[in-house]
Amino acid sequence: MRLDKFLAHATGNSRSQVKSFLKQKEVRVDGEIVTSANFHVDENNSVVTVFGDELLYQKYVYIMMNKPQGYLSATSDGQEATVMELLDEYYDRFDLSIAGRLDKDSEGLLLITNDGHLLHNIITPKKKVDKKYLASIEGKLTAASITALETGVNIKDGRGVLFTTAPAKVHVVSDGQVEIAIYEGKFHQVKRMFASVGCKVIYLKRIAIGGLMLDKYLDLGEYRELEADELEALKNKFRSELASNET
C-alpha cells in the first residue's frame, strides 16, 4: 500500500495533509525517515509513526448500534437525521454501509460495516440469514394467523407488487408481544405481514441478526464495535447456512 494512502486512512487526514508530514520528515517506517508518498508499506506488519506516535491500520469496522426512533437507516439524507450522525468522526474515513435497514420509527440492532462480503451475506435473501424482531401488536393473533405467517402470506412490496413471503418463525412472548424472525427485507415487511392477518404493529424492535444479539447494555443511540468472538460467530452462521442450503 502507498504510504500516503496508509497515512490518510490511519489519521483521517487528506492526502495533501499527510504529504506535509512527509515533507517535515516526521514520518518513519520501521524506524527510518521516509519522505516519499508512494513508498510501499505493509499495512499489517510495517511500524509507521508520525511525530513519534505509532499508527494502526484498521481495514474493516463492524459496528453494533441500538438504533433509536427518529433516525433514517441511511448513509446520508438531505433533510432528515440519519444513524451515521450518531457515529464518532473517526468513522468518517470508512466507506460504511448498513446491513439490513430499519424503518424510521423502528428501534434496535443495526450492523454497520465497510465489509462488502459480510453485507452481501446478510442482506441477500438466498443466504437465509434470520433477522429477529420483537413486535408489540394490536389485534388478536390466532393460531391460524401464526400458521399463515409461518407458511407465507401475500403482501405488497414497496412498489405495490404482490408477493408471497418466505416462511417466518413466530413466538408469542405475551399478550400483545410477539417475536418474529424473517430473512427477507422488503419495505415495511414485518408490519405488512402482521397487517395481512388483521394485526397492527405499534412498536417494532430488531433484537438479532443471524445469531448476533443486540447488547442489552447498549442504550438507544449507543454503539460499539463487535467483539472478535461475536464477529466469528456471525461468520460461522453464514458458513452453516450456506452448507445447509447446498445440501
> Could you report the per-residue pLDDT of 194-240, keeping only the tens digit for each?
999 999 999 999 999 988 999 999 999 999 999 999 998 888 766 65
Residue 136 CA to chain centroid, in angstroms? 23
Q: Are 102 and 71 in contact (CB under 8 A)?
A: no
Are 179 and 134 part of one and the same domain?
yes
Are 47 and 65 part of one and the same domain?
no
> Could you report the per-residue pLDDT of 108-141, keeping only the tens digit for each?
999 999 999 999 988 888 888 999 999 999 999 9
Which distant-in-sequence residues (6+ apart) come within 8 Å of 86 by Cβ?
A: 65, 71, 221, 223
Residue type at position 219: D
Are 42 and 69 part of one and the same domain?
no
Is the four-CA dihedral 137, 140, 142, 147 of positive or negative sign? negative
Residue 91 CA to chain centroid, in angstroms? 14
The confidence score (pLDDT) of residue 245 equals 53
The confidence score (pLDDT) of residue 238 equals 65
Q: Is 42 a residue of the active site?
A: no
Are 204 and 162 part of one and the same domain?
yes
Q: Nearest 5°: CA angle at 185, between 134 and 189? A: 60
Are 104 and 137 part of one and the same domain?
no
- Into how many domains does the chain fold? 3
Calpha distance 239→115 (Å, rounded): 16
We report the CATH number of the domain holding residue 136 as 3.30.70.1560
Are 137 and 155 part of one and the same domain?
yes
The confidence score (pLDDT) of residue 247 equals 46
| Residue 8 predicted with pLDDT over 60 | yes
Catalytic residue among 4, 30, 53, 103: 103
The confidence score (pLDDT) of residue 240 equals 58
Return the percentage of the chain with pLDDT > 70, whole number. 96
Are 42 and 105 part of one and the same domain?
no
Number of DSSP helices (H) and strands (E) in the chain, helices first = 6, 15
Instruction: Residue 117: give the domain boundaries.
Output: 59-126+215-247
Are 139 and 40 part of one and the same domain?
no
Q: Which of 37-46, 186-195, 207-216, 233-242 has the lowest mean pLDDT?
A: 233-242
Are 173 and 119 part of one and the same domain?
no
Q: What is the mean pLDDT of the chain?
A: 92
Are 120 and 14 part of one and the same domain?
no
Are 122 and 219 part of one and the same domain?
yes
Are 228 and 168 part of one and the same domain?
no
Residue 178 or residue 245, greater confidence? 178
